[in-house]
Every structure is written in structure tokens, then in C-alpha cells.
């Protein structure tokens, strides 16, 4: 599979400042749901709940491959304890789907000396996080990076690591298990209530056009079970419906922007009342409409 040319949108400082000045919805963080581990098949498990995004693990011959690491060391320790109930094999490898803290920062509770795999952009973002509000654990930087595609066997498990272009972030990495027909999507898919479209991080050079290309790449894989970064398991039909919604809404925003409409006018035309989300640490996540509008109106 050829990785197509990256479509990366670079936003000016003025545009980011303008975005952050828009109305926001403060994120009310309640207690997390209990962490649960559920088997899929072929030695593959996925986990939801706890503090952070969904995680996964694969029991191989002589070791365990983990996908994502939760937000906090406490939640990561809970996750590792659940793995220990399934197998006595040690965790040898962690694959990071992207650089967001709710998928990375729990690494601090993992044993040292593991192989930590990430896409090149993800590693760069993790390094840059050290000066931000949610710094990644200093002793757990990725020590194996993937550019676009790597077909490998780890602990006897064959898997494919795939990156097309910047999408949710600049460093998204998809884990595809061809024998089990399972895909771990990371936050390319966040199946949370109210998330009809998708989340894009402009500050991490994410791109709605890249998200569409990435989703089409995922759908081209021979898979029937998709583990999202958040929310319940997804089917192929679920992903196809999400892709159709994103493409339609993105086209509408571009059309309205081309007519010279302001962001407020675009939102009004689309009956979009969504607000930016602000996490307790002050990080701001702009809405899909705002991100696409910035893309549509950016100056080269």
C-alpha cells in the first residue's frame, strides 16, 4: 500500500488565537467508569473504562503487545493487573496510536526496557509535550518509529502498522491484525455520545482531508472489528456511516466558506450549536466545524 502525499494544514498564530477566543464548553470530569477487559479472538483483548482512552493487548508467544497506555499511572497499573489475570507473559511492547496524554501518560507505570513503537510525528509531539501542561513520561520515549507502513511479527504475532497522512494528529498509527481481522484505530474513531463527525487537533497538524484519506485506508483493510480510541466496538457499517457524514459536512463548510460566510454564519446555516471543549488542564479542543472552517479559509 502506497502512502499518498501528506496533506498538512499549517495554521497561523493569529488563527489559533482567534480560535481559542471562541466560546467553549468546560469539560466536567467525573469519576471514570470501572476498567473492563473483554476478549475478541485470536489472543486479542480490548479494554475500556479507567482513566484514559481505550486500550488493547495481544497475548503472543513469550510476551504481550499492548496498544496505548491510559492517562495516569494508577489506571495503567489497574490495566496491567487485568493483563496479569489473563496471562503470566510479560509486556514486551507498547504501540502508541497517537500522542494525546490519555493514551500515553500511563506509560510511567509500565516496566522499563520495553519496545515503545510510535509514528515519527507522534514521537516528535511526545518530545514537544515536555514543555506543555501534560508532559509525557521522560523515561518512556518511543524507541522504535514507523514512517508510513511496517509489516512485522512481534512475539509470534503478525501485524501491520499503518500511517497515511496527518489526520487526528500528525502521528496517528493504526494497528491491523490481518489474521484476526481486527483494527485498533486510536482516535481516528472516537465513538462517544455526541461525536457525530471526528476530532481534529490543528495544534498537532491534524487535517480533515487527511482524516478522510486515513478512514478510506482503514476501510480498505480486510477487517470486520474496529476498536476505537473511545467508545464501543465499531463495525464496518459504523465507519462507513461516519465517513459519509464527515465528507458531507466538510463539503458544506467549504461551500459556505467559499461564499464568504463567517464562522458564526456557517454555524447558523448548519444549525451547529457545538462548543469547543476545554479540559481541566486548560487544553482546548475546537469543534469539527471550526477546524474545517479554518482549513477552508487558510491563506497559503
CATH number, residue 285 = 3.60.15.10
Question: Considering the domain boundaries, does residue 3 fall inside one?
Answer: no
Paired residues of 2 in beta bridges: none
Burial class (CB in 10 A: 0-12, 13-18, 19+), 90: middle
Averaged pLDDT for residues 223-249: 97
> Considering the chain, what percentage of its residues have pLDDT values greater than 70?
87
Question: Considering the domain boundaries, does residue 100 fall inside one?
Answer: yes
Q: How many domains does the chain have?
A: 1
Question: Considering the domain boundaries, does residue 87 fall inside one?
Answer: yes
284-285, strands of its sheet edge to edge: 24-26, 276-278, 284-285
Cell of 237: 457499517
Question: Considering the domain boundaries, does residue 50 fall inside one?
Answer: yes
Model confidence over 73-119: pLDDT tens digits?
999 999 999 999 999 999 999 999 999 999 999 999 999 999 999 99
Dihedrals phi, psi of 212, to nearest 5 degrees? -60, -45
Question: Considering the domain boundaries, does residue 88 fall inside one?
Answer: yes
Provide the whole-model pTM: 0.88
Question: Considering the domain boundaries, does residue 192 fall inside one?
Answer: yes
Rg of the chain, C-alpha, whole Å: 19
Model confidence over 247-290: pLDDT tens digits?
999 999 999 999 999 999 999 999 998 887 766 566 778 999 99
Alpha-carbon distance 53 to 61, whole Å? 26
Question: What letter would DSSP give residue 203?
Answer: G
Burial 4-25 (b: 16+ CB within 10 A, else e): eebbebebeeeeeeebeeeeee
Structural domain range at position 273 = 13-297
User: What is the residue-averaged pLDDT of the chain?
Assistant: 89
Q: Is the pLDDT of residue 8 over 80?
A: no
Please answer whether residues 173 and 162 qualify as being in contact, where contact means their C-beta atoms are separated by less than 8 angstroms: yes
> Which pLDDT band holds residue 195 (cuts at 50, 70, 90)?
confident
User: Which pLDDT belongs to residue 26?
Assistant: 37
Alpha-carbon distance 266 to 256, whole Å? 6
Question: Considering the domain boundaries, does residue 5 fall inside one?
Answer: no
Question: Considering the domain boundaries, does residue 102 fall inside one?
Answer: yes
Q: How many residues does the chain have?
A: 300
Strand (E) or helix (H) holding 215:
helix 208-219
Q: Is the pLDDT of residue 4 over 50?
A: no
Amino acid at each position: 500500500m502506497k502512502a499518498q502525499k501528506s496533506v498538512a494544514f499549517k495554521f497561523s498564530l493569529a488563527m489559533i488565537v482567534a480560535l481559542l477566543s471562541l466560546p467553549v464548553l468546560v469539560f466536567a470530569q467525573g469519576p471514570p467508569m470501572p476498567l473492563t477487559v473483554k476478549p475478541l479472538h485470536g489472543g486479542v483483548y480490548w479494554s475500556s473504562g479507567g482513566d484514559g482512552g481505550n486500550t488493547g493487548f495481544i497475548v503472543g508467544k513469550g510476551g504481550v503487545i499492548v496498544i496505548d497506555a491510559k492517562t495516569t499511572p494508577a489506571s495503567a497499573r489497574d490495566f496491567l493487573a487485568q493483563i496479569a489475570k489473563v496471562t503470566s507473559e510479560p509486556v514486551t511492547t507498547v504501540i502508541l496510536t497517537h500522542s494525546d496524554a490519555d493514551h500515553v501518560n500511563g506509560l510511567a507505570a509500565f516496566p522499563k526496557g520495553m519496545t515503545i513503537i510510535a509514528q515519527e510525528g507522534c514521537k516528535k509531539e511526545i518530545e514537544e509535550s515536555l514543555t506543555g501542561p501534560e508532559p509525557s513520561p521522560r523515561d518512556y520515549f518511543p524507541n522504535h518509529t514507523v514512517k508510513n507502513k511496517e509489516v512485522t511479527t512481534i512475539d509470534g504475532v503478525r501485524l501491520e502498522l499503518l500511517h497515511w497522512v496527518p489526520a487526528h494528529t500528525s502521528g496517528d498509527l493504526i494497528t491491523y491484525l490481518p489474521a484476526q481481522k481486527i483494527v485498533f484505530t486510536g482516535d481516528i474513531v472516537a465513538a462517544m455520545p455526541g461525536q457525530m463527525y471526528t476530532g481534529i487537533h490543528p495544534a498537532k497538524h491534524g487535517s480533515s482531508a487527511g482524516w478522510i484519506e486515513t478512514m478510506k485506508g482503514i476501510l480498505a483493510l480486510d477487517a470486520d472489528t474496529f476498536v476505537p480510541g473511545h467508545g464501543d466496538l465499531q463495525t464496518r457499517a459504523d465507519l462507513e456511516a461516519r465517513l459519509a457524514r464527515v465528507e458531507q459536512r466538510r463539503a458544506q463548510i467549504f461551500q459556505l466558506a467559499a461564499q464568504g460566510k463567517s464562522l458564526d454564519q456557517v454555524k447558523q446555516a448548519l444549525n451547529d450549536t457545538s462548543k469547543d471543549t476545554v479540559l481541566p488542564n486548560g487544553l482546548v479542543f475546537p469543534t469539527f466545524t471550526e477546524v474545517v472552517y479554518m482549513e477552508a479559509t487558510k491563506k497559503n
